[in-house]
Structures are given as structure tokens and as C-alpha cells.
């Protein structure tokens, strides 16, 4: 049972949306299937807040699932978008803005010498995989359970029945033949990774990983895990792909690669680099990137890739996150939130803990911070769902599933965090 009083206009819109859109939403997690209830239809957003169709205000902790690092409707970003739009929306021919954002990405992330812009994180990881396979002439890829890399066929895979067996599709419509090259291993398990390379090292095209995982709640990789991955890929001539679509420019200005001091061969980016517009990218060592069409044999293209309006939003965002003290403030905010929530849960006698890295945070209804997918899944989902709905009633919007990370923006000020913690104190008491 939830305590939520679903409100009329959201209900009406949800009923109407379901007539013409499967499940009423254009991306599954928005539908509240995991927590139950009616999704909120958003009408506008400003700073750390958004408002639903009934005019109710929420403190927003999903930030468009990561992009809204500057807070919503930041005036500098909005003006840049308006100025770009006034000059035309899309040309299908190159622009100087694309050079500028590529130069900025290469300057900020030393592992990236060349970069290709695309329109979604899915395209970025899918293309990075194709490049890794094209460059190595190998087919097999390694991914980790609980990491999400977008919805390309060979990545919609869960672990097979035994260690070192190939995966099973997690979606209808994905042929077994496509996933039979995908090996799914446990996150943070160095021994499994060593086994995989010992058995089939010369057949592995690449290892793809979220170096700070944000799609199974927030789970940090251990430094040993990433370092052994780096060493094994180098030794066996496999390509190491960091999927930093979520953690890039979110955990720090140099992303997870800067935080851990480990250089991948290729990086996938998205979310923050579009500042709320559809920009994503993949990039890495020039010698690898030169294998891309039009100069190399690996094909990839996009009508709206490097779209001038989207790039204007992204470039302005990349400039503003470089203001002095930005990431210190962002992490202090996320840490204060997690500490406050943990204290409020403790007062109510609820098993709860949290973690935060830069502007990302995790909340776990368990005694200890999880280190893998199975540990995360052991959390108290039913209690999370009651917490979620209680907070929603209080005007605080957390991700509508226990398996998702949370996000703060630079505009989540002390007032917003204090209000959240006070609300959590009331909700924890009710669900304790």
C-alpha cells in the first residue's frame, strides 16, 4: 500500500497518454511500474524544483537522470539555446560549435584525443562497441551484471547459468545469436575477470564498464577491480571502454577516470555533456578513432549528430561546471543529504545507509553499502517503495525505483536539503 493521494490532472493525463503511447511513457522507468501509482506529468522546472500538472512543487533528485547538473532552466543555457535556434535548427553540414565542444572534451579528459558526437548514450556505447570489434577483429565483449549501457542488442543481456557462460537476452526481440558473444560477469569480482581472460583473452574485443555504477543504484568500483581490468585489457590487446554517460562530468570534472587515475581506451559520454539536450559522444585514442568512417572502415552516422542547438546547451554547461569550487560544492551537497537521511532513518530505527560520489548519491534500505548487483537487490524494496511515496507526498521526487541512483544539482541549496531531511524524518517515522 502507498500513502499517495494521486491527483486528478496527472491521472487524467496518464489515462490519455496510455491511449497513444505504450504504457503512457516514452522511457520505461518514468511509468512508476516499480513503485506503483501515477507518474507525475511535469509542466515546468526551475533550479532544484519542478512542478507537476496539478501545480504541486517537488524538490527534484533525478535531474533528468543526470543532465541537470546546473539546476533547471539555468539562464545562461537557455540564452545559448535561444541564440543558436535563431540561426537555424539543423543543417546536415558541419559547424564551428562542434569543433569547440570536441576541443573542450579532449582538453578535459586526457584519455580522449578524438571524439565523435552522437545524440544519445545508447548510440555512444553501441558505436564504441562496434569500433572495439572493428579495431580488434574480435567479437566477444565483457560486461558486468547491473551495469546499463543503453539498449543496443548485444548489451541487453543478463548472466548465463554458470560462470563464463554467455548471456541470455533481457528483452524480447534480441536474437540469442546477438548475445552469444556477450559475457556477463559480476561487478567488482577480480577473480572472475582474470578467469575470463585466462580462458578466452585473445577472443575478447573489449570490456565495457560503468566505473562508478549508477544504474543499479549507486555502486562504486573498487580501485583493484578497475586496475586489473586495465592491466588485463592491455596484456591481451582488448579495448577498455569506460561508459561514463552517467558519471562523466558528474562525479568530478575528469569523470571516474580522473577520480581513479585510470585511462580507458574509449569513453562513452552523454547526459551532462548535452546539458538537457540530446548530445552524447564517444572518444579515445586517435589511432583507434581514426578507424571510424569517413577515414576508416567502421561505419557510424547521424542526421542530428552534433546538432547546433543541442551543442550550444552542452558547451555552455561544460563551461559553467568549470567555475571554481563547483564540484566541491556539489559533493558537499550530496554528502549533506546522505548524512541527514541516514541520521533520520537511524532515529526511526530503520536499516538504511547511503553513499555519494560528486553529484550522484545512493540510498540503500540495508545495513551496508552494496558492492554488487546481488547485494543491491537484497535491499528492502517494499520499504523503499513506501519511502518513495511518502516523500512524493511531501513534495520530494526521488527516482521511482530502488535500482536507481539520485542526483543533486548545484542549485540544491541548504534550504532544499534541509526541507528534504525534515520530510524524510516524518516519512521514516511513518514507515518505521
Ligand X SMILES: *Cc1c(COP(=O)(O)O)cnc(C)c1O
Residues near ligand X (CB under 6 A) are 120-122, 125, 148-150, 210, 214-215, 243, 245-246, 270, 280
Active site residue 148: yes
* Active-site residue, selected from the candidate residues 148, 327, 364, 373: 148
Q: How far is the CB of 409 from ligand X (least distance, A)?
A: 17
Which among 52, 60, 186, 243 is annotated as catalytic?
A: 243
Q: Which is nearer to ligand X, 20 or 27 (CB)?
A: 27
- Write down the least CB distance from residue 139 to ligand X, Å: 21
**C-beta of residue 284 within 8 angstroms of C-beta of residue 265:** yes
> CB of residue 248 vs ligand X: minimum separation in angstroms?
9
Catalytic site residue from 143, 271, 364, 397: 271
When the beta carbons of 211 and 340 are compared against ligand X, the nearer one is: 211
Give me the phi and psi of 229, to 5 degrees please: -60, -45
In the complex, which residue's CB is closest to ligand X? Answer: 121
Give me the least distance between CB of 118 and ligand X, in Å please: 9
Active site residue 140: no
Report the nearest approach of ligand X to the CB of residue 432 (Å).
32
- CA-based Rg of the chain, rounded to a whole angstrom? 21
Which residues lie closer than 8 Å to 229 by C-beta, 6 or more apart? 193, 207, 209, 240
Q: In what order do the strands lie in the sheet with 353-357?
A: 353-357, 360-364, 406-407
- Nearest Cα residue to 56 out of 16, 7, 17: 7
Find the helix or strand (DSSP H, E) in which 115 lies: strand 114-118
Answer yes or no: are the C-beta atoms of 393 and 387 closer than 8 Å.
no
Query: Which cell is 397 given?
Result: 521526487
Q: Is 180 a catalytic residue?
A: no
Q: Which residue has the cell 553501441?
A: 126
Of 65 and 428, CB closest to ligand X? 65
The three state secondary structure string of 276-298 is CCCCEEEEECHHHHCCECCCCCE
φ/ψ of 270, rounded to 5, equals -175, -150
CB of 52 to ligand X, least distance (A): 22
Alpha-carbon gap, residue 227 to 153, rounded angstroms: 28
H runs (alpha helix) in 262-404: 286-289, 308-320, 326-347, 373-377, 381-393
The CB-of-425 to ligand X minimum distance in angstroms stands at 31
Nearer to ligand X, 204 or 247 (CB): 247
Q: Which residue's CB is nearer to ligand X, number 359 or number 390?
A: 359
Between residues 24 and 270, which has the closer beta carbon with respect to ligand X? Answer: 270
251 neighbors 278 (Cβ within 8 angstroms): no
How does DSSP assign 176-217, residue by residue?
Answer: HHHHTTEEEE-TT-HHHHHHHHHHHGGGEEEEEE-SEE-SSS
C-beta closer to ligand X: residue 134 or 270: 270
Q: How many CB atoms are located within 10 Å of the residue 228 CB?
A: 16
Q: Are 337 and 423 in contact (CB under 8 A)?
A: no
Among all residues, which ones are annotated catalytic? 148, 243, 271
Amino acid at each position: 500500500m502507498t500513502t499517495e493521494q494521486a491527483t486528478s490532472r496527472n491521472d487524467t493525463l496518464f489515462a490519455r497518454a496510455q491511449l497513444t503511447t505504450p504504457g503512457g511513457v516514452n522511457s520505461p522507468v518514468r511509468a512508476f511500474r516499480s513503485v506503483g501509482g501515477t507518474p507525475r506529468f511535469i509542466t515546468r522546472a526551475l533550479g532544484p524544483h519542478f512542478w507537476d500538472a496539478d501545480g504541486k512543487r517537488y524538490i527534484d533528485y533525478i535531474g533528468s537522470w543526470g543532465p541537470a547538473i546546473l539546476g533547471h532552466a539555468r539562464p545562461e543555457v537557455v540564452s545559448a539555446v535561444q541564440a543558436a535556434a535563431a540561426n537555424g535548427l539543423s543543417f546536415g553540414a558541419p559547424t564551428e560549435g562542434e569543433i569547440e565542444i570536441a576541443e573542450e572534451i579532449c582538453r578535459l579528459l586526457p584519455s580522449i584525443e578524438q571524439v565523435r558526437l552522437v545524440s544519445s548514450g545508447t548510440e555512444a556505447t553501441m558505436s564504441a562497441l562496434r569500433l572495439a570489434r572493428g579495431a580488434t577483429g574480435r567479437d566477444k565483449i565483457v560486461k558486468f551484471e547491473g551495469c546499463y549501457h543503453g539498449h543496443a542488442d548485444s548489451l541487453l543481456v543478463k548472466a548465463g547459468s554458470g560462470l563464463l557462460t554467455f548471456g541470455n537476452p533481457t528483452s524480447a526481440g534480441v536474437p540469442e545469436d546477438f548475445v552469444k558473444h556477450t559475457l556477463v560477469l559480476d561487478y567488482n569480482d577480480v577473480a572472475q575477470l582474470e578467469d575470463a581472460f585466462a580462458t578466452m583473452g585473445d577472443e575478447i574485443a573489449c570490456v565495457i564498464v560503468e566505473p562508478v555504477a549508477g544504474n543499479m543504484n549507486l555502486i562504486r568500483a573498487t580501485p583493484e577491480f578497475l586496475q586489473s581490468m586495465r592491466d588485463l585489457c592491455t596484456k591481451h590487446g582488448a579495448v577498455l571502454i569506460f561508459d561514463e554517460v552517467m558519471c562523466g562530468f558528474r562525479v568530478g570534472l575528469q569523470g571516474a577516470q580522473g577520480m581513479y587515475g585510470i585511462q580507458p581506451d574509449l569513453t562513452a559520454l552523454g547526459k551532462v555533456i548535452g546539458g538537457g539536450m540530446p548530445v552524447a559522444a564517444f572518444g579515445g585514442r586517435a589511432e583507434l578513432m581514426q578507424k571510424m568512417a569517413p577515414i576508416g572502415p567502421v561505419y557510424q552516422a547521424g542526421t542530428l549528430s552534433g546538432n547546433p542547438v543541442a551543442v550550444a546547451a552542452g558547451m555552455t554547461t561544460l563551461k559553467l561546471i568549470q567555475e571554481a569550487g563547483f564540484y566541491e560544492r556539489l559533493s558537499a551537497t550530496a554528502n549533506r543529504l546522505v548524512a541527514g537521511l541516514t541520521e533520520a532513518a537511524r532515529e526511526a530505527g530503520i536499516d538504511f545507509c547511503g553513499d555519494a560520489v560528486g553529484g550522484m548519491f545512493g540510498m540503500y534500505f540495508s545495513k551496508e553499502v552494496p558492492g554488487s548487483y546481488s547485494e543491491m537487490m537484497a535491499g528492502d524494496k517494499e520499504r523503499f517503495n513506501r519511502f518513495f511515496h511518502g516523500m512524493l507526498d511531501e513534495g520530494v521526487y526521488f527516482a521511482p525505483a530502488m535500482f536507481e541512483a539520485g542526483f543533486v544539482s548545484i542549485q540544491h541549496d541548504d534550504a532544499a536539503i534541509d526541507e528534504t531531511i525534515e520530510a524524510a524524518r516524518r516519512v521514516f517515522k511513518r514507515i518505521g
